[in-house]
Structure 1
């Protein structure tokens, strides 16, 4: 049974389950590659190194440990923005992890302008969960259509939505 207790966001942090799910969906790549949106990526979905420099296709291989360190550095920066955006909002740990994962995947700009955030600020938790399903596009391709070669983006959204709904 999941804990559905909602507490102030300032008291929460990314859980071990968050990082397990992150690596499950992002995967690990020692070498740089282009993701489904054509963005150069390395490690566990990292677009930038911890110092802020963009990953380049010519960058050297990295270890899984380095990739995990990069992901943790990225998440710690995202969490500062994430918590500030949710000042006064209460979430369960599951919800916190779900929305932080969304931010990691879709970026801070998409989070800040999202209907999820607007709904959370007005305590519309179910509507916030449902808003996850609006984000199914990558590079103008509808990822809910399997042949568009980005179906993993959609299945990740479906899993986020299911987790979120179970936390209500």
Structure 2
């Protein structure tokens, strides 16, 4: 599969996880850690409070940002199976590429660089916390999301 096709397929799979995990809010809100967010988890500096975003705008943001996240993981690990790329792509969309690409901060990234895919997939549930009031707290939504990513990831790692 050509790289762009693989990234596209992985982005589509990742989006299937992201949409129910993020939910859709067309007005800006503050997520549990206090970050201004809109649509399907968009947290850019371009968010305008009290503005309604159209469904088309929200879908466009998700499509572009998910493709960027999956592409970032693919640049770190160009030979991942589609399902593994999708799982880590969704995690990168949600958390940033550190989870997959920064060996100094992520055991999952170290395993990916070593080609230990099952071990890397098994690390995903450890990334279910967010800092609230200065304390890392497990969030139920992140726990479910990481579980879904792990399940998809292990399918590709087998």
TM class by smaller structure: 0.7 to 0.9
Q: What secondary structure sits across from 1:45 in the alignment?
A: coil
What is the TM-score when the length of structure 2 is the normalising length? 0.82
The 3 A distance-change label for structure 1 pair 75 and 30 is same
1:52-93 CA-to-partner distances (Å, cap 9, x unmatched) read x3424x251112221010111212332342222114xx2222
Q: How many residues align?
A: 149
* Cα distance between partner residues in 2 of 1:80 and 1:40: 25
Quote how far apart the aligned CAs of 1:9 are. Answer: 6.0
Q: Show structure 1 runs of 4+ deviating over 4 A.
A: 7-11
Of 60, 79, 82 in structure 2, the residue corresponding to residue 69 of structure 1 is 60
* Cα distance between partner residues in 1 of 2:128 and 2:56: 30
* Cα distance between partner residues in 2 of 1:120 and 1:157: 17
Q: Does 1:36 align with 2:32?
A: yes
Q: Does 1:83 align with 2:58?
A: no
* Cα distance between partner residues in 2 of 1:162 and 1:77: 22
Q: Does 1:108 align with 2:80?
A: no
Match of 2:6 in 1: 12
Q: What secondary structure sits across from 2:154 in the alignment?
A: helix
Match of 1:163 in 2: 152
Contact persistence 1:33–1:40 (CA under 8 A): yes
Match of 1:125 in 2: 117
The 3 A distance-change label for structure 1 pair 24 and 14 is farther
Q: Does 1:141 align with 2:136?
A: yes
Contact persistence 1:9–1:86 (CA under 8 A): no
* Cα distance between partner residues in 2 of 1:80 and 1:17: 13
* Cα distance between partner residues in 1 of 2:73 and 2:113: 13
What is the TM-score when the length of structure 1 is the normalising length? 0.78
**Per residue, is there more helix in 1 or in 2?**
2
Quote how far apart the aligned CAs of 1:21 are. Answer: 2.0
* Structure 2 gap segments, 5+ residues each: none
